[in-house]
Chains A and B, each alone.
Chain A
Amino acid sequence: METVVFYVFAALALAGALMVISFRNPVSSALSLVLTLVSTAVLFVLLLAHFIAVVQILVYAGAIMILFLFTVMFLNLKSDKLIFEAKNLGFKVSILLVILLFVGYFASLGFKDGVMKKTLGVSEMDGFGSIQGVGTSLLTEYLLPFELTSVLILVAIIGVVAIAKKRAN
């Protein structure tokens, strides 16, 4: 059962990623990226990372993609200054498919008898991936990086305001 779910959503994630790089229209690309992000969230649930899956949906597929779509629509999509394309994209995507085949093949060979092959030890009963577990390690062991994250966000806010203000002048 788990294997079937994994393969279905892995295929969806890969298909979404391929659609991101093959659509001409940025809005279609953004919606395909949502497909990839949601499929990845399902894979996080399979990896027992429930809190991470919710964060992925809320922050990535929610906030970041809204920001992308808002910007694209803000820039008046009708103009062909937004919808233009590199030449013979289909040929390039088919090259990419061959590269992907090789990457998948050699990566799976590389993992064939590595140390990662061992069976997955943790179970859902340990509280692995719960909000409590993630929050505890975030606020005890990794408190300093967590606080520095807020500095990063502050810098980003100030940077965006500075860029936007320069544009208004």
Chain B
Amino acid sequence: MGVEHYLVLSAMLFVVGAYGVIVRKNLIIVLMCLELMLNSANLAFVAFARALGDMTGHVFMIMSITVAAAEVAVGLALLVSIYSHRESLDIDLLKLLKG
């Protein structure tokens, strides 16, 4: 089977993640959908690495997972901070950066 199966799956996972970011209102779930989108990009990286016989895609995936880990650490710290200020995680309430 060819690599295009993996790329179609990656596109579908990305669409689900993007849809979740747009539709959901809970800030935690929005962050999870961001992770979903990064994960689908990782799948495409590894699929291309296999198709081209080049391991650069694996290195890219390591970089991407590092960025995801850093992003989630900062994002969750911000989330806890927002929750202690606002007592809510509804993103419709977050209209100002300065609380």
Per the 8 Å Cβ criterion, residues 1-39 of B in contact with A are 1-9, 11-13, 15-17, 19-20, 23-26, 28-29, 31-33, 35-36, 39
| Size range of the chain A interface in the assembly | 35 or more
**Residue A84 contacts which of B6, B17, B26, B46 (CB distance < 8 angstroms)?**
B26
Which residue of A21, A40, A153 has the most chain B CB atoms within 10 A of its CB atom? A21
Q: Is the CB of A20 within 8 A of B36?
A: yes
Q: A46 to B72: give the CA distance in the assembly, Å.
A: 28
Q: B residues bordering A, Cβ < 8 Å?
A: 1-9, 11-13, 15-17, 19-20, 23-26, 28-29, 31-33, 35-36, 39, 42-43, 46-47, 49-51, 53, 55-56, 58-59, 61-63, 65-74, 76-81, 83-84, 87-90
Q: A13 to B24: give the CA distance in the assembly, Å.
A: 20
A81 contacts chain B at the CB level, 8 A cutoff: yes
**Residue B4 contacts which of A37, A44, A84, A114 (CB distance < 8 angstroms)?**
A114
